[in-house]
Amino acid sequence: MRVRDGLNQPGTPATGTSSTGTPRADTPERSLAANVRRAQIVEAAIETLAESGYGQTTFARIRQRAGISSTRLISYHFGTKGELMDAVVEEVGLRAHQAISRRVADETSAAGALAARIEAQVEWVAHNPSAVRAMYEVCMNERDAEGALRYGVQATARANVDALEPILRAGQESGEFRQFDTGLMALTLKSAIDAAIVRMARPPRLTPAQCVRELTTLARLATRRES
């Protein structure tokens, strides 16, 4: 069941209250409360996924972590586990996009934007392990009715390539970068970033600063104009 939108329903008062004087489901007060509750549930789902894994992430566990009275409150906002997992993927993706985009937006050159994106992505992953783990759990376990993965690794892979390619094209157009296939270069850099992220998590571990230094050096050498 979803909270209604802001349209007045036939036969209800236009004042924003029911006949008992309490806020209706379509009022700003109730909508704000619903948004807060949804965010609380999504955050609890993220933490539960990161701690317990997809299989053990049940409405009962999410209810307990969120500190709410009943799993029916979760079902009210998210009819199925799949709907809640969609919200998790959307929320984690939005957080990462906003954090990384802010860093890139401050740059005035393609080379600067490329380095900033690499640095911001590595640092975001390093500083948000629960969100990253939750995204991984959903992408590698959420399945459709036929049993096929609904997301898989392609979800984040395509997003990263699509974000890198415009920067690379802009660098070629401005004359900062040499000519190369931007799709292949974006995929190559994306793969290098993924490898560095693994090295941050597994021994012998590299620090985020070490990964950023190597990745930005790789990007600079791979894209610079030939003399």
The closest of 13, 12, 37, 16 to 27, measured between CA atoms, is 16
Per-residue pLDDT, averaged over 190-219, amounts to 95
pLDDT digits (tens, 9 = 90+) for 78-99: 999 999 999 999 999 999 999 9
pLDDT digits (tens, 9 = 90+) for 178-190: 999 999 999 999 9
| Higher pLDDT, residue 118 or 26 | 118
Give pLDDT, residue 5. 31
**Cα maximum dimension of the chain:** 78
pLDDT band for 30, please (50, 70, 90 cuts).
Answer: low
The whole-angstrom separation of Cα 218 and Cα 102 is: 23
Give pLDDT, residue 54. 98
Question: Number of C-alpha atoms within 13 angstroms, CB side, residue 150?
Answer: 13
CB 130, CB 50: distance < 8 Å:
yes
pTM equals: 0.80
pLDDT band for 143, please (50, 70, 90 cuts).
Answer: very high
Per-residue pLDDT, averaged over 191-213, amounts to 95
Give pLDDT, residue 15. 34
pLDDT band for 60, please (50, 70, 90 cuts).
Answer: very high
Give pLDDT, residue 156. 73
CB 134, CB 88: distance < 8 Å:
yes
Which distant-in-sequence residues (6+ apart) come within 8 Å of 85 by Cβ?
Answer: 45, 138, 142
Total residues found in the chain within this entry: 227
pLDDT band for 26, please (50, 70, 90 cuts).
Answer: low
pLDDT beyond 90 at 58: yes
